Structure 1
Amino acid sequence: MSTEASGPTLQSPSYDPESRGLRLVAVLLVLTVVSGLIDAVSYLGLGHVFTANMTGNVVVLGFAAAGAPGFSVPHTLVSLTSFVVGAVAGGRVAGRLGGGSRRRWARITLAVEALLLGVSSAVAFAAPDATATVYALISVTAFAMGLRNATVRRLGVPDLTTTVLTMTLTGLAADSRAAGGTGRHSPRRSASVAAMALGALLGAWLYLHHGLGLPLLVTAVVVGVLAVCASGRE
């Protein structure tokens, strides 16, 4: 007597393991919130330096080099260097994993980012006022953002870089109906801008009311959840 399968199996043509979990568009939007949160914490709490937005950091480096008060050349250089090293590491990971399962690749990278952010949070809770803590947090969070950005770049999901909004805003305006375009990608671009603003708001509020440790812990938990549930599909 034969029986019919009640649902898709590993051998079924309809079974696609890459589709299991939260789609990459949603994952990248949440990561954009995390980027805004991290930059709020780093800029407000680590000496006016960005650890996610390197465009801003290059400008900050110019301010610091000119002697503008409140900016630090060493802090900014540590952030830039750590980010680049993280991006190199992300590129190597992409070279090893990028040709296989997109889902596995994204989850491994997010798990590493969550671990690094968790370490940053632990350091911030343990010694929030130490000079070494500032350099440790800058270097570890910037490395994590470099690792993530290299991965996001290779994933190639349009209009969702998670850290830079200049081209997103340009596309939003230049392709809008007011500019004679179709506005087809406006919802995704608008969501990306809103996500960054929300993250900055949340990060600033958490830092001002709870210090460095809690907002970094929040980022670690959020990214950790994404590492568990991300899919490989847009």
Structure 2
Amino acid sequence: MNTEATEPYDPETRGLRLVAVLLVLTVVSGLIDAVSYLGLGHVFTANMTGNVVVLGFAAAGAPGFSVPHTLVSLSSFVVGAMAGGRVARRLGDGSRRRWARVTLAAEAVFLGASSAVAFAAPDATATVYTLIAVTAFAMGLRNATVRRLGVPDLTTTVLTMTLTGLAADSRAAGGTGGRSPRRSASVAAMALGALLGAWLVVRHGLGIPLLVAAVVVAVLALSTSGRE
């Protein structure tokens, strides 16, 4: 008779680890910012640090930048983050797996809706504002969730502190370099997403890259776990 103790079954461990999920979401962020910056009038909908700078450019009258576009993106992102905060307060104390999956499913729906709008009316002025608003809302929702999940060095949209940590904690700077692989992977993921997004926008317009983003996030929504 086997008397060895076995670990109790934990449904939270089923699926992809959050580290892998957040790295893939970082790729999606690069893709979304490629769509917004290249296809929606030089505005970011995932990277709000860049967006604040772009707002300054637009306010100064620099050609190619729009104050209305940037304000729509910033305000939609903030509203999305508020929604994400409410979801976190409702679900964050329970199953991390369920919470992450619900939020990612919502993001996939918003990105899918953006793709449908881009296919249906690619040249309409209203389409530009709709895509900015919906994708920025989705990114705000996700960022509020990622912030509360608190996985170190994986914010999915901002790399300034990641690059700072990579350099400041490196062996060359006298540190241990302990989290260098994760930080390096995050930088590479963002670059990969931007490359893929730019290639798709230039060759296929806005609908295809948004659809790709929606499908990827939907797969993550079905497969993520609650473990780091």
Q: Structure 1 length as normaliser, TM-score? A: 0.95
Unaligned runs of 5+ in 1: none
Residue in structure 2 matching 1:226, options 205, 220, 223: 220
Q: What is the DSSP-based 3-state SS (H/G/I as helix, E as strand, rest coil) of the residue aligned with 1:160?
A: coil
Q: What aligned pairs does 1:171-182 form with structure 2 within 5 A after superposition?
A: 171-182=165-176
Could you say which residue in structure 2 is the equivalent of 1:63?
57
Structure 1 position 186 matched with structure 2 position 163? no
In the alignment, the residues of structure 2 paired with residue 66 and residue 22 of structure 1 have an alpha-carbon distance, to the nearest angstrom, of 45
- Which residue of structure 1 lines up, in the alignment, with residue 191 of structure 2? 197
Any stretches of 5+ residues in structure 2 without a counterpart? none
**2:112 maps to 1:109:** no
Aligned position for 1:96: 90
Match of 1:145 in 2: 139
* Residue in structure 1 matched with residue 75 of structure 2 by the alignment: 81
Distance 2:180 2:12 in 1: 27
- Following the alignment from structure 2 to structure 1, what is the Cα–Cα distance between the partners of residues 20 and 100? 13
CA distance in 2, matches of 1:92, 1:113: 15
Larger deviation: 48-57 or 12-21? 12-21
Residue 124 (structure 2) pairs with residue 130 (structure 1): yes
* One-letter code aligned to 2:151: V
Report the alpha carbon displacement of residue 14 of structure 1 after superposing the two structures with TM: 2.3
Q: CA RMSD in A?
A: 1.2
User: Which residue identity does 2:79 align to in structure 1?
Assistant: V
- Deviation per residue, 1:177-218 (Å, 9 max, x gap): 000000000000000000000000000000000000000000
SS at match of 1:83: helix
Measured against aligned partners, the alpha-carbon deviations of 1:81-126 in whole angstroms (never above 9, x if no partner) come to 0000000000000000000000000000000000000000000000
Identity of aligned residues (%): 87
**Which secondary structure state, in structure 2, belongs to the residue aligned with residue 95 of structure 1?**
helix
Q: Which residue does 1:36 correspond to in 2?
A: 30
- SS of 1:67's equivalent? coil
The alignment of Structure 1 onto Structure 2 pairs a total of residues equal to 226
Q: State whether structure 2 residue 158 is matched by structure 1 residue 161.
A: no
Aligned counterpart, 1:213: 207
Distance of 1:33 and 1:13 partners within structure 2: 35
Q: Which amino acid aligns with 1:107?
A: R
Q: Supply the distance in 1 between the matched residues of 2:167 and 2:12 (Cα, whole angstroms).
A: 34
Cα distance in 2, alignment partners of residues 13 and 22 from structure 1: 19
Per the TM alignment, residue 13 of structure 1 is displaced from its structure 2 partner at its CA by: 4.4
What letter matches 1:123 in structure 2?
V
C-alpha distance in 2, partners of 1:231/1:51?
27
Q: In 1, Cα distance between the equivalents of 2:188 and 2:64?
A: 28
TM-score with structure 2 setting the length: 0.98
2:69 maps to amino acid? H
